[in-house]
Amino acid sequence: MDVLWAPWRMAYVGGPAGAGCIFCAALAGDARGRLVVCTTRDTVVMLNRYPYASGHLLVAPRRHTADLAGLAADEYADLAETLRRAAATLEHELRPQGMNLGMNLGAAAGAGVADHLHWHVVPRWIGDTNFMTTVAEARVMPQHLLDTYDRLRPAFERLDART
Ligand SMILES: [Zn+2]
């Protein structure tokens, strides 16, 4: 593994072994400590602790489920609307040149957390992978996670307030 810039990994390595679900744990804990930027009625938005790019968000239903088709209509509507607004907020705050939005359903599809479905929203800049290797865990991170959190949180407070 070739981690180019990831100071938060020390806390991870030194912390307790990960157990349970990161999304459910995030909803139960301190928002900043868990990197939760926004919660709506049915949806939680958090920074990915192991991001592919600065501002990499995860958008998940609050309910612990891996079953996309099994979401209630209003639950899915809230998820989709929050995804739309999360992408718009990143666009406004970070001014990326592009964005990847994707959902990996199941471990076979590459889901890191397969039991709790979630969207990835990854802002992209031309050249942002110039120094990345093909090693899966190599990351280039120009900005610390909490700096990103503090930058995005005020913008996302407007999403919190909408419900
Ligand atoms: Zn969960």
pLDDT digits (tens, 9 = 90+) for 106-131: 888 888 888 999 999 999 888 776 54
CB 41 within 8 A of CB 161: no
CA distances from 160 to 15, 20, 45, 94, 132 (A): 30, 25, 10, 19, 35
**CATH code: domain of residue 97:** 3.30.428.10
Q: Quick check: is 118 catalytic?
A: yes
Of 45, 60, 63, 72, give the one whose Cα is nearest residue 159.
Answer: 45
CA of 97 to the centre of ligand 1 (A): 32
- Asked whether residue 14 carries a pLDDT value surpassing 70, the answer given is no
Asked if residue 161 belongs to a domain, the reply is: no
Asked if residue 140 belongs to a domain, the reply is: yes
CA of 8 to the centre of ligand 1 (A): 22
Asked if residue 51 belongs to a domain, the reply is: yes
Q: Which amino acid is at 109?
A: A
CB 30 within 8 A of CB 122: no
CA of 73 to the centre of ligand 1 (A): 19
pLDDT tens for each residue of 94-108? 999 999 999 999 888
Domain span including residue 146 = 16-154
Q: How far apart are CA 72 and CA 57, in angstroms?
A: 23
Asked if residue 3 belongs to a domain, the reply is: no
9: exposed, middle or buried (Cβ count in 10 Å: 0-12, 13-18, 19+):
middle
Query: Domain total for the chain?
Result: 1
Q: How far apart are CA 94 and CA 112, in angstroms?
A: 25
Asked if residue 143 belongs to a domain, the reply is: yes
Of 122, 103, 134, 108, give the one whose Cα is nearest residue 48.
Answer: 122
CA of 25 to the centre of ligand 1 (A): 7
Given the residues 56, 92, 116, 118, the one annotated as active site? 118
CA of 65 to the centre of ligand 1 (A): 7
* pTM beyond 0.85: no
Strand 57-61 relative to strand 36-39: parallel, antiparallel, unpaired? unpaired
Asked if residue 146 belongs to a domain, the reply is: yes
pLDDT tens for each residue of 16-42? 434 489 999 999 888 998 999 999 999
Q: What is the Cα gyration radius of the chain? A: 15
Asked if residue 9 belongs to a domain, the reply is: no
Q: What pLDDT does residue 17 have?
A: 36
Asked if residue 68 belongs to a domain, the reply is: yes
